[in-house]
Structure 1
Amino acid sequence: MPYVVTENCIRCLYMDCVSVCPVDCFRKGEAMLVIHPDACIDCGVCEPACPAQAIRRDDDRDGTRWLAFNARFAEEWPRICEKGKPPGDADDWRGRSGKSAMVFGADGP
């Protein structure tokens, strides 16, 4: 079962998870990352590496909601293989609820 990136990543983009991923399964959009479900080997090293606690197993209640979203955008967004610099206001967005509706509207899970 692959891991997925959830709402907590939106506008945080800390990208610590990218540094530890052995198979480069992360994809980067403007506001968040996603995990390509076919590339994820279910090793789990990304989950504890995420300071925003945005990564969940796809069979977790929150993860299930985000599986289709991750799969869809993993096909559209470019692969990211190295940690980048998070946005300057990342800490301001950390832990906010309702971010998916603010950023993605109807396209969010």
Structure 2
Amino acid sequence: MPYVVTDACIKCKFMDCVEVCPVDCFYEGENMLVINPSECIDCGVCEPECPAEAIFPDSEDVAAKWLPVNREYAEQWPNITSKGTPPADADDWKGKPGKADLMSAKPAPR
């Protein structure tokens, strides 16, 4: 039962979850993070750390749509192992519904 990042992360990308992950299974896109489900050890320590409440176990309905997205982009985006700076307007986007169409397929700029 891996954990999954959902659209609630889009344009928030707080990255608190990255700091606590013991296996470094987060990958960074331009405006969101994903979890590699093959690397996730199901410990769940990331879920309560997410200020945007964007992380769920794959057994929850909200995660079903996002599991394939996490799997696909974890193969394309760079691994992130430490917390970076969230977007300046992250708090403005926190809690806004319907952000799926705003997801960028681009990797995080390096």
Give TM-score scaled by structure 1 length: 0.93
More helix by share: 1
What is residue 43 of structure 1 aligned with on the other side?
Answer: 43
- For the residue of structure 1 that corresponds to 2:37, the secondary structure is coil
Moved over 2 A (4+): 102-105
Q: Report the counterpart of residue 100 of structure 1 in structure 2.
A: 100
Contact 2:25–2:79 under 8 Å retained in 1: yes
Matched residue type, 2:51: P
Deviations 1:56-85 (A, max 9, x none): 001100011110000000000000000000
Amino acid at match of 2:84: G
For 1:44-83, list aligned pairs within 5 A. 44-83=44-83
Q: What's the counterpart of residue 32 of structure 2?
A: 32
In the alignment, structure 2 segments of 5+ residues that lack a partner are 106-110
Counterpart residue number, 1:12: 12
Which residue of structure 1 aligns with residue 89 of structure 2?
Answer: 89
Distance 2:51 2:17 in 1: 9
Residues in 1 aligned to 2:102 and 2:20: alpha-carbon distance in whole angstroms = 29
Aligned length: 105
Q: What TM-score does the superposition give when structure 2 sets the normalisation length?
A: 0.92
| 1:8 Cα offset (Å) | 0.6
Query: Shift of residue 104 of structure 1?
Result: 4.9
Question: In structure 2, what residue type is equivalent to 1:86?
Answer: P
Structure 1: tracts of 5 or more residues without a match: none
CA distance in 2, matches of 1:36, 1:83: 17
Secondary structure (helix, strand or coil) at the match of 1:17 reads helix
CA apart distance, 1:17: 0.2
